[in-house]
Chains A and B, each alone.
Chain A
């Protein structure tokens, strides 16, 4: 910089940038030295960082860095540590039967803690965060079970599912009585009212309940039982209690008879490991509805 451009402000004794606006000149105050050194230090740090850590993107990869550190590897290490930490309990859980787990307070606590997380990850989208269920998805807290509420029943349901395509899973469908022209409209109305009356719900005026009863005995009793108490072998719900999977209003019941029902519970055996499955079985069983 020439001496000409280097103008010193008289009052502060600091050099100016040489630019002038209506007589005002901008001071070229030097940066504080500590700030400057810190700035240089960050540059040096960045260079060091490029060398030791993955930094520069290449076409298919990036520079790897001499430390060989990788975020994916770090996650894998953490997961491996976690696995090692939980290892003994997890293998104990995987080896024990669900009945043994329920009998051992320590295993039960561990299974319920693990089950809570697994339930949130896998089951909550349909059954709700606390297993409260939704229309078409059973409430797991109550004492009404389509396929049985004993530990062994829940185990089969979770492992193999229902109508999941798994041969060992639960099978059984509600036929589409209306769509397939098995019953006529007035018959469907009559049988719907009769089914509702089984749990004490009032029938619509002018509906022939006797006809409904006869039709029920002919068409429904095979699965739902002569008195409508249901059959867990085929997942036929108990029609005499106060719990309705899809709803108890007549329109919903008619819909079910016309189009049939066939909610699917997936097969989880192929997706989850042994200890997770057992944790889920125990967790669901301890919601409150589990049968002894």
Chain B
């Protein structure tokens, strides 16, 4: 109870100068208690990341614009498939059980392509990790991208780090409340759009937008928008770095998968230590003592979206977004020192430099080669199967009750339910041949009988299947074995494409 009351009191600091100091101290890693006294529960330190400019910030903006642009706009991209299929480039059509991706159409039974994509995604993640650590975490992960966007909104409304912290530490005025309200409103709007874009992948986007605007959309659409609004708002607005620190499995897996040659955002302590002010450095150098380039300005900590001090080395909290590189470069430039005191580098190289050796980079390693090879193989197999997959199919279910029928004169009859699949977006005529037994007569229920007995013409609608019951009677003089093989051949009479499927012809 006392502890709880104390923590509640901490949430609302008294409006004195000490409060700001405490807030700053809390935000710094230095504020942590010594190792042997770490409590099992760590109260959250609110992070106020400072804005920054530079190469990696630009890369992050570009990644943000491209990924969010794709996410929000892709449902509106049209792709003409003719009259018999939807004209949305990317569409998950659950009612019709089809997935459309530009020129690719996936039927439910081909969902193994999704498995392939997941393998590609996992191996791609491993490859990124082997080359340059947490590229995914730093630039591409949705949690990072949306949090980045939410940070930008926060800075726009509540001001940059210093202004924001000062205002939070003061007695909150109506203006403070108003700023917070506006910020949360914008966050909620972004979150709402995120949910809104999500549902557009599952229905014709322009139609659904119209329905959503007029309140005519199905309840499920509103429900999903609500769910994703909630998750986006809470994850990107409130949970932020805690998702990476406590919820995400990848930092743990990544740490186990990485090796010493992978590039990581690294503080080059060979150059930075010992830290000292510019004046002190001049003094030390004049005395012939070592002086590092790091002036302990804490800019790298202040810009960090997860509140990490990169100078303490690799850590689970570091998502390797490179913003500390930009922050440090800005300072180094002002001081007239060389940039990249923090850079993509390896600990090996830091140690080599300290030993006076030249750094080296080893991109081609067993793991990078293997990951690339697996990517190429899985990707190649997928492309090959996609390119060569047939546009028609036949599946057969033999009658189970009865397995066979004996007629008056002793001849045997088996019945099958066959399903013909037409994956093209036009009507097609197929010829079904029943073959494999010496003398059979196939009767197709509901279709006109043909003189030649074992063949039948069936028309199947665009992107559809058709079920036909086939009754096969064997008129051969010698009775067939208890189980003979029978062949169903499906031929597109226009293109000549053929698929065959074998089944059994049972007897006593």
The 8 Å CB contact of A288, one of B400, B401, B443, is: B443
* Category for how many chain A residues contact B: 20 to 34
Q: Does A88 contact B (CB under 8 A)?
A: no
**Residues A288 and B446 in contact, CB atoms below 8 Å apart:** no
Tell me whether A288 and B408 are in contact (CB under 8 A).
no
Bound-complex Cα distance A120 to B443 (A): 24
For B218, the chain A residues whose CB sits under 8 A away are none
CB of A241 within 8 A of CB of B408, answer yes
Q: Chain A nearest CB: distance from B96 CB in Å?
A: 17
A41 to B408 CA separation, bound complex (whole angstroms): 72
Residues of A within 8 A of B2 (CB): 13
Interchain CB contact under 8 A, A132 and B402: yes
Are B413 and A141 within 8 A (Cβ)?
yes
Within 8 A of B (CB), among A134-152: 139, 141-144
B4 in contact (CB, < 8 A): yes
Q: Would you call A212 an interface residue if the criterion is a C-beta within 8 Å of the partner chain's C-beta atoms?
A: no
Asked if B1 CB lies within 8 Å of chain A CBs, one says: yes
Q: Is the CB of A242 within 8 A of B446?
A: no
Judging by beta carbons under 8 Å apart, are B402 and A141 in contact?
yes
Complex Cα gap A83–B445 (Å): 27
Query: Which residue of chain A has its CB nearest to the CB of B401?
Result: A130
Bound-state CA distance A129–B415 (Å) is 14
Contacts of B401 in A (CB 8 A): 128-132
Residue in B402, B413, B415, B469 whose Cβ sees the most chain A Cβ within 10 Å = B402
Task: Indicate if A64 sits at the interface (CB-CB under 8 A).
Answer: no
Q: Is A105 an interface residue (CB 8 A)?
A: yes
Cross-chain contact B405 with A288 (CB below 8 angstroms): yes
Contact A142/B1 with A286-B469, A288-B413 known, Cβ cut-off 8 Å = no
Choice from A14, A131, A142, A286 contacting B408 with Cβ under 8 Å: A142
A132 contacts across to B, CB distance below 8 A: 401-402, 405
B404: min CB distance to chain A, Å: 9
Instruction: Summarize A's interface: helix, strand, loop or mixed.
Output: loop
Using Cβ atoms and an 8 Å threshold, which residues of chain B touch A144? 407-408
Q: How far is the CB of A211 from chain B (nearest CB, A)?
A: 28
Q: Answer yes or no: A189 CB below 8 A from chain B CBs.
A: no
Query: Which residues of chain B (395-412) have a CB below 8 Å from chain A?
Result: 399-402, 405-410
Residue among A108, A129, A133, A243 making CB contact with B446, cutoff 8 Å: A108
Chain B residues lying within 8 Å of A142, measured Cβ to Cβ, are 405-408, 413
Do the beta carbons of B4 and A30 come within 8 Å of each other?
yes
Question: Which chain A residue lies CB-closest to B443?
Answer: A288
Which residues of chain A (15-40) have a CB below 8 Å from chain B? 15, 30
Q: Are B409 and A141 in contact (CB under 8 A)?
A: no
Chain B stretch 164-211: residues in CB contact (< 8 A) with chain A:
none
B3 to A13, Cβ gap below 8 A?
yes
Q: Is the interface of B mostly helix, strand, loop or mixed?
A: loop
B: interface residue count bin: 20 to 34
Kindly list chain B residues whose C-beta atoms are within 8 Å of the C-beta of A30: 1, 4
Cβ–Cβ contact B399 & A130, under 8 A: yes
- Whether A287 is near chain B, meaning CB under 8 Å from some CB there, is yes
Say whether A287 contacts B415, CB under 8 Å: yes
B471 proximal to A (CB < 8 A)? yes
The smallest C-beta distance from B417 to any residue of chain A, in angstroms, reads 10
Separation of A30 and B2 alpha carbons in the complex (Å): 12
Q: Are B408 and A243 in contact (CB-based, < 8 A)?
A: yes
Interface residue A153 (Cβ < 8 Å from any Cβ of B): no
Do B402 and A128 touch (CB < 8 A)?
yes
Taken together as a complex, chains A and B put the C-alpha atoms of A142 and B406 apart, in Å, by: 7
User: Given A142-B406, A143-B407, A286–B413 Cβ distance below 8 Å?
Assistant: no
Question: What's the nearest-Cβ distance from chain B to residue A194, in Å?
Answer: 19
Q: Is A274 an interface residue (CB 8 A)?
A: no
Q: Chain A's nearest CB lies how many Å from the CB of B261?
A: 43
Flag B308-342 by CB within 8 Å of A: 1 or 0 each. Answer: 00000000000000000000000000000000000
CB-CB under 8 A from A276, the residues of chain B are: none
Could you tell me the distance in whole angstroms from the C-beta of A139 to the nearest C-beta in chain B? 7
- Assess the A109–B446 pair: CB atoms within 8 A: yes
Residue among A13, A105, A112, A242 making CB contact with B406, cutoff 8 Å = A242
7 nearest A-B residue pairs (beta carbon): A132-B402, A130-B401, A241-B408, A288-B471, A141-B405, A132-B401, A129-B401
30 CB < 8 A contacts A-B:
A13-B3, A14-B3, A30-B4, A108-B445, A108-B446, A112-B446, A112-B469, A129-B400, A130-B402, A131-B402, A132-B402, A132-B405, A139-B402, A141-B402, A141-B413, A141-B415, A142-B406, A142-B407, A142-B408, A144-B407, A144-B408, A242-B406, A242-B407, A242-B408, A242-B410, A243-B407, A286-B445, A287-B415, A288-B443, A288-B471
